[in-house]
Amino acid sequence: MLKLQRADLFREAAYVGGEWSTGNGHTWVPVHNPATGAQLGRVPSLTRANVEEAIASANAAFAQYRQWTGKARGAVLLKWASLMLEHKNDLAQIMTAEQGKPLREAQGEIDYAVSFLEWFGEEAKRVYGDTIPAPRGNQRITVIRQPVGVCAAITPWNFPSGMVTRKVAPALAAGCTVVLKPAPQTPFSALALCVLAEEAGLPKGALSVVTGDAVEIGAALIESETVRKLSFTGSTAVGKKLMAACAGTVKKVSLELGGNAPFIVFDDANLDQAVQGAIASKFRNAGQTCVCANRFLVQAGIHDAFVERLTQAVREMRMGHGTEDGVTLGPLIDDAALRKVERLVADARSKGASVHAGGERHPAGPSFYAPTVLTDVTDTMSITQEEIFGPVVAVTRFTDEAEALTLANATRYGLAAYFYTSDLNRSIRVTEALDFGIVGVNEGAISTEVAPFGGVKESGFGKEGSRYGIDEYSERKYVCLGNVA
Ligand code: SIN
């Protein structure tokens, strides 16, 4: 049972055009607590007509909202941020209940989510244009920035609040309006944010949250000529389908897709820092982030010491329900996620990997997988080719820098990469040689609102957060003023 100070933050309804809606009133989607498997609540399964209503109200709101000054838009975002901080504990409890992450991590995610509202609340005032020296004396050339229009945002279950504000805040700051489809596993965090957005003064229709069947809602959003932009975070497989479908109406698209992050430890690394960075990168959200280290590449001279220290740290982790004191690791999101991790570990073991810790389910509940350390991992094992999305460290030994780089880049993904070294020249060489959009050098925690988050290759395109994030939601219009006397 959730014990909230503000019970009204927990809504079993969608939010369409500024009104709480139960759709047709009799088709619902259950939402479960992954730590217990018990049903937490339900949200309505909206019809295509409901989604079209949300799009129409976003379009009507856009006509007015685009006229607001950047300062006025920013003020709403900043107010929304302060309301989120005021209700941080309630929001974190809702998140832990639907997502499973430990309460402290959920509180950290609320801070992370707030940071995007604050950042883009400020940036709303800085959507600058340009003046360009014209080739003819009687011309003046300027570039103005204007909002893209109605945007669709599709967010994942691993960061139920952080990914919402990372998309919605720059869109609203730029003057766009948004129809958001949260992941079916974690709709309640997004809905709670709407309660606070409304209180912060966001006009009706500027943000809708639609719940229900992913395929039907996705089709309504993608096929709409009114929706001019799609921002999606999720799997590469779904991202490819959405990208192809967006061609039908030539939408602007940003995709934050899967990753297969290498985490390289060179012989000259600081061992303490490397172990600490490995824990931060691998075990955040029980290994369920796109930027989690997926492949640990460890040089022969430091390999055994690194594995021993990391295994010791992993054995000290406390797995359990996110609301229990001292818990550092929660469950996987559902049974399918658990079975995927089991399959990858079984495949690695059958091909010669050794288990130093874990390697099996954890008794804390139905979707818990014990934190695991595997060594003797090779690139013939599926665990090095697929995104694990679970608390498993898979270690491969290498001999020299060239081999490490070849292994690291041997993936179709290109989101994040990490490496540890104390050699300055190597740090520059390796940074430049890694084919990834984000590189952590002697650092395992790279996510922040101030830096551009996004991948290359099949990890997608477009940047989220930072001063570049708002570019995804604005168009540059070239204006040529002629015959100036
Ligand atoms: C993600 O997993 O999609 C986002 C992770 C982050 O923002 O750090």
Q: What is the pLDDT of residues 34-84, one digit of tens each?
A: 999 999 999 999 999 999 999 999 999 999 999 999 999 999 999 999 999
- C-alpha–C-alpha distance, residues 384 and 356, integer Å: 18
| Non-local CB neighbours of 168 within 8 Å, separated by 6+ positions | 153, 178, 180, 207
Phi, psi dihedrals of residue 217, rounded to the nearest 5° = -70, -45
Q: Are 255 and 232 in contact (CB under 8 A)?
A: yes
| Ligand 1 pocket check for 93: Cβ under 6 Å | no
Average pLDDT, the chain: 98
Question: What pLDDT does 1 receive?
Answer: 77
Q: Measured from the CA of 112, which atom of ligand 1 is nearest?
A: 7
Phi, psi dihedrals of residue 428, rounded to the nearest 5° = -75, -45
Q: What are the DSSP calls for 412-458, one per residue?
A: S--SEEEEE-S-HHHHHHHHHH---SEEEES-S----TTS-B--SGG
| Ligand 1 pocket check for 367: Cβ under 6 Å | no
CA of 262 to the centre of ligand 1 (A): 16
- Among left, alpha and beta (phi > 0; psi -120 to 50; other), residue 467 is alpha
- C-alpha–C-alpha distance, residues 396 and 166, integer Å: 34
Please tell me what DSSP assigns to residue 348: H
Q: Probe ligand 1: pick from 163, 164, 260, max atoms within 8 Å of CB?
A: 163
Beta-bridge partners for 354: 375
Q: Measured from the CA of 288, which atom of ligand 1 is nearest?
A: 2
| Ligand 1 pocket check for 173: Cβ under 6 Å | no
| Ligand 1 pocket check for 438: Cβ under 6 Å | no
| Ligand 1 pocket check for 411: Cβ under 6 Å | no
Question: What pLDDT does 354 receive?
Answer: 98
Q: Are 327 and 319 in contact (CB under 8 A)?
A: yes
Q: Are 166 and 231 in contact (CB under 8 A)?
A: no
Q: Measured from the CA of 284, which atom of ligand 1 is nearest?
A: 8
Token digits of residue 202? 């966001």
How many CA atoms lie within 13 Å of 311's alpha carbon, on the beta-carbon side? 17
| Ligand 1 pocket check for 233: Cβ under 6 Å | yes
* Active site positions, annotated: 256, 290
- C-alpha–C-alpha distance, residues 463 and 455, integer Å: 8
Low-confidence ranges of the chain (pLDDT < 70): none
| Ligand 1 pocket check for 447: Cβ under 6 Å | yes
Q: Whose CA is nearest to atom 6 of ligand 1?
A: 447
Strand 130-132 vs strand 372-375: parallel, antiparallel, or unpaired?
Answer: unpaired
- Runs of H (alpha helix) within 351-393: none
CA of 307 to the centre of ligand 1 (A): 26
Q: Whose CA is nearest to atom 8 of ligand 1?
A: 447
Per-residue pLDDT tens digits for 208-253: 999 999 999 999 999 999 999 999 999 999 999 999 999 999 999 9
How many CA atoms lie within 13 Å of 105's alpha carbon, on the beta-carbon side? 28
Q: Measured from the CA of 233, which atom of ligand 1 is nearest?
A: 3
Please tell me what DSSP assigns to residue 319: B
Token digits of residue 211? 């719940």
Q: Are 212 and 22 in contact (CB under 8 A)?
A: no
